[in-house]
């Protein structure tokens, strides 16, 4: 049996993430990308475009709404009361798909390196809107949607952001 190749497409204008197997759409989710728009520069707060791969999957098996800081679980579970105690945190929840650029000089290497910019596909609080750009550069998803995606992709899965 031949397994169809999986890839992810992120449409910045539509604020949609699509998982494609072969030529068939398997999953489609609303996302929230960068408030500052598209761009590849370090420190820009923009979502990088182009071809990427999932470099590392983080958080398999952890509870829904697990909180991460520096890509490590803190042991906390997100709640409104926790958010009130830490109002300035950029909440990274549930799972992390850490992206690495594939295009040298565009999104890989130098000041445009997606991996060194710590760009992820990650979960966020339910209170954060989807379908509108509000992140600091990452691709935010609903945590339940992210788990569904996370369980169907592997490190090395291609991600095209356009």
Q: What is the pLDDT of residue 4?
A: 75
Collapsed DSSP state (helix, strand, coil) of residue 141: strand
Domains and CATH numbers, the chain: 6-161 (2.40.440.10)
Residues 2-45: tens digit of each pLDDT: 667 999 999 999 999 999 999 999 999 999 999 999 999 999 99
Percent of the chain scored above 90 by pLDDT? 98
Distance CA 34, CA 51 (A): 17
What one-character-per-residue DSSP string does 74-123 give? EEEE--HHHHHH-TT---EEEEEEEEEE-SBTTTBSGGG-TTTTT-EEEE
Residue 132 DSSP one-character state: S
With a cut of 80, say whether residue 1 has pLDDT above it: no
Q: What is the mean pLDDT of residues 58-68?
A: 98
């Amino acid at each position: 049996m031949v397994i169809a190749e999986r890839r992810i497409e992120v449409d910045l204008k539509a604020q949609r993430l699509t998982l494609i197997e072969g030529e068939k759409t398997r999953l489609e989710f609303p996302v929230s990308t960068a408030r500052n728009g598209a761009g590849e520069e370090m420190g820009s707060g923009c979502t990088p475009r182009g071809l990427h791969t999932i470099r590392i999957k983080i958080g398999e098996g952890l509870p829904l709404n697990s909180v991460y800081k520096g890509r490590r679980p803190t042991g906390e579970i997100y709640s409104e009361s926790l958010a009130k105690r830490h109002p300035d945190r950029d909440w990274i929840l549930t799972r992390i798909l850490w992206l690495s650029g594939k295009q040298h000089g565009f999104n890989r290497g130098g000041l445009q390196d997606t991996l060194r910019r710590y760009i992820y596909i990650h979960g966020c609080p339910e209170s954060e809107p989807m379908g509108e750009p509000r992140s600091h550069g990452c691709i935010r998803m609903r945590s339940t949607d992210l788990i569904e995606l996370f369980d169907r992709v592997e490190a090395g899965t291609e991600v095209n952001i356009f």
